[in-house]
Amino acid sequence: MIRKRLILLPLLLLIACRHNINTNNPKVVFAALLADASNVTVSVEDGLTTANRVLETIQTSEPEYYNRVKPLIRKISAANVTAALKIQAAKNGGADDWRGALLAVAASVNPNDLRAVGLRNPQTQSVISAAIAGLITVLSSIPDKFGGVR
Amino acid sequence: MNVVQIITALLPIFAQAAPLLVRDIANLIHGNPQDPNETDDAYIARIGSLVDANVKKIIDEDADIQKG
């Protein structure tokens, strides 16, 4: 079974190597890169919104966790807005360091500080873990996607 | 181990060896493909509008997070 699935890997990579643009025009390549970066900021904000909604439901039952994590969610979101605006400015011809701003989003908090530890209710712990999992995954992917190429 | 787990395990290796490939995979996943008949200028304008819409959405959602 694993062998069959491994056969699919080169196929997937081959598909991945196919550019989704029709040209080598640098302006198009740059625009596609900025659009991808912009989509990452949307993924981060979606993760933040999900985490925030769940967080608001436990404000009274888990005040320690809420008070610890809420400022971190706000901090990531503020950094994400900065990155989104710099990506937009770069799209409009500006020389903004959008890549640095995006990496700053990933570095704005330590993901371990978001983890659901020390909660009173074990059920709440699993709900929070699920709520922040997507956010942590997106944040962790940013350096791989945008940290290697300058 | 499924295909996704295998790719996930391999991604850090590709990230060091071929960042552009990783970026292409990300592009494939997110998907902003240029239509075969779409001119470069039209494509740039279309995904430029997408970036603008993304910024508006992010600012709106950030406002909720900051006040909540």
To the nearest whole angstrom, how far is the Cα of B10 from the nearest Cα of chain A?
10
Cβ distance B65 to A31 less than 8 Å, yes or no, reads no
**Tokens standing for A15?**
């598909």
Min mean pLDDT across A26-35, A76-85, B31-40 is at B31-40
Residue B28's pLDDT band, with cuts at 50, 70 and 90, is low
In chain A, residues with a C-beta closer than 8 Å to the C-beta of B32 are 20, 32, 35-36, 39
Question: What ipTM, to 2 d.p.?
Answer: 0.81
Cβ distance B31 to A2 less than 8 Å, yes or no, reads no
In chain B, residues with a C-beta closer than 8 Å to the C-beta of A18 are 24, 28
pLDDT, position B4:
62
User: CA B12, B26, A101, A115 torsion: positive or negative?
Assistant: negative
In chain B, residues with a C-beta closer than 8 Å to the C-beta of A81 are 58-59, 62
Percent of chain A's residues with pLDDT above 70: 85
Q: Is B3 exposed, middle or buried (0-12, 13-18, 19+ CB in 10 A)?
A: middle
In chain B, residues with a C-beta closer than 8 Å to the C-beta of A8 are 3
pLDDT, position A34:
94
In chain A, residues with a C-beta closer than 8 Å to the C-beta of B66 are 74, 77-78
pLDDT, position A12:
43
pLDDT surpasses 90 at B51 = yes
pLDDT surpasses 50 at A71 = yes
Mark out the alpha helices in B1-68 (DSSP H runs): 3-17, 19-30, 40-67
Chain B contact for A32, CB < 8 A?
Answer: yes
How much is the average pLDDT of A47-59? Answer: 93
For an interface test with B, give the residue of A25, A29, A40, A49 to mutate (most B CBs within 10 A).
A49
How much is the average pLDDT of B6-35? Answer: 57
Mean pLDDT rounded to a whole number for chain A:
85
Higher model confidence: residue B9 or residue A94? Answer: A94
Residue A18's pLDDT band, with cuts at 50, 70 and 90, is very low
pTM of full prediction above 0.95: no
Q: What is the pLDDT of residues A101-114, one digit of tens each?
A: 999 999 999 988 99
Contacts of A26 (CB under 8 A, 6+ apart): none
pLDDT, position A15:
41
How far is the CA of B3 from the CAs of A1, A150, B6, B10, in angstroms?
11, 30, 5, 11
Chains A, B: CB pairs < 8 Å: 140
pLDDT, position A116:
75
> Is-contact B34 A22, C-beta < 8 A?
yes
pLDDT surpasses 70 at B8 = no
